[in-house]
Amino acid sequence: MTNPHATRHQFDQVFVPSYQPASAIPVKGQGSRVWDQAGKEYIDFAGGIAVNALGHCHPALTDALAAQGNKLWHLSNVFTNEPAIRLATKLTAATFADKVYFANSGAEANEGAFKLARRYAMNKYGSQKSQIIAFKKGFHGRTFFTVSVGGQPAYSDGFGPKPGAIDHAIYNDLASLEALISDTTCAVVLEPIQGEGGIITPTLEFLQGVKALCQRHNALLIFDEVQTGVGRTGKLYGYMHTGVTPDILTTAKALGAGFPIAAMLTTTAIAKHLQPGTHGSTFGGNPLACAVAEAAFDIINQPHLLAGVTERETLFRQGLTRLANQYDVFTNVRGQGLLIGAQLAARYSGQARQLMTYAMDAGVMCLVAGADVVRFTPSLIIPKQDISEGLQRFEQAIQRWLAVQ
């Protein structure tokens, strides 16, 4: 006989121990609510790490998946398909880009972006132009190339020699970039808001300065918008707040609103350097993924929905600021749109994950961004009543957590 439910104990028996998931196992989601095997309800302020942009089981997405599932599942890139063409057309129409490359995850989109940048530089300027500059505390994925470009050694150390010609500047410090960049630099890559690094927002002067340095040294500017993209900041993409346009942009997470898909966007002049055979993906542009992503994109890329993100940001900021003032646990609340971080006070340094666990016990899902920041990335359409009730639960978690300090 088999167990009626998969158990958390079974996870430990059969999974590679690279994750330590919560003790509860969610089995059902609807909107911004989730239920576990025991029937306990949670308000979801995590959104699958900025993925579930329209909450759980949005009818437009489930309908799109069912409809496409009854037509065509997979072809490979020996053929193209209608959902992929429609989605790529909409992405280019709504952004700076002319061309799209589809992949399965943010890491794969970034892998493609870094390979394209090096191929472009090699073809146009010669093999000596290979340096990639990223930023400390950045995060760009878990492949060996992308984790090496990411500026967090804890994720990249311990796997042997790393890919070469990668250097790291200090985020929001233009002088540190200027000290590293040269005519041998092929690309500078950054997140418009550092996510895993602590929800760090750059100054406009910094972003403008990065762009100017890239232009001076004929280096491409890559924006990793895996976490900031598809409405998360209150605009379709984070770069749209800044007036700084990248040469290459990567997008994933919310693009499929829960279905695995990613994309790399760029211009025709750059894209032409990835000729047939130079890069590829078995599942990239899969009809199921593109059909769901198209449905999500059609909903998200609307002025009223994006304005609603900003309204919800205000509610979160007001609620978290009140908790910060009342309990003296946070030094600041930062971020943009519904990518929000609450920085723990110094005396609680390193305890963000502990507070996240207390929040789970209180019936609210949240995240961390490093050891000292609690992160909130809920659905872009989370009901305002759920924000209020979720913050009440989070306050209960703070009270219980402080009681054991």
The sign one gets for the Cα dihedral 42, 32, 25, 338 is negative
H/E element holding 127? none
With tokens 């992929």, the residue in question is 84
Q: Does the annotation mark 253 as catalytic?
A: yes
What count of residues does the chain have?
A: 405
Out of 44, 223, 224, 297, which one is annotated catalytic?
A: 224
Out of 253, 297, 330, 376, which one is annotated catalytic?
A: 253
Would you state the torsion angle of the CA atoms of residues 251, 255, 258, 260, taken in this order, to the nearest 10 degrees? -60
Residue 151 has what DSSP assignment?
Answer: B
Helical segments of 158-276, H only: 174-180, 204-216, 268-271
What's the Rg (C-alpha) of the chain?
Answer: 21
Question: Is 140 within 8 Å of 146 (Cβ atoms)?
Answer: yes
Give the integer Cα–Cα distance in Å for 342 and 398: 13
Closest residue by Cα to residue 171 from 217, 147, 136: 136
Question: Is 169 within 8 Å of 209 (Cβ atoms)?
Answer: no
Both tokens assigned to 389: 């009730």
Out of 45, 114, 135, 139, which one is annotated catalytic?
A: 139
Give the integer Cα–Cα distance in Å for 206 and 216: 15
Residue 312, CA atoms < 13 Å, CB-side half-sphere: 29
Q: Does the annotation mark 28 as catalytic?
A: no
Q: Does the annotation mark 15 as catalytic?
A: no
Question: Is 307 within 8 Å of 68 (Cβ atoms)?
Answer: no
Task: Name the residues annotated as catalytic.
Answer: 139, 224, 253
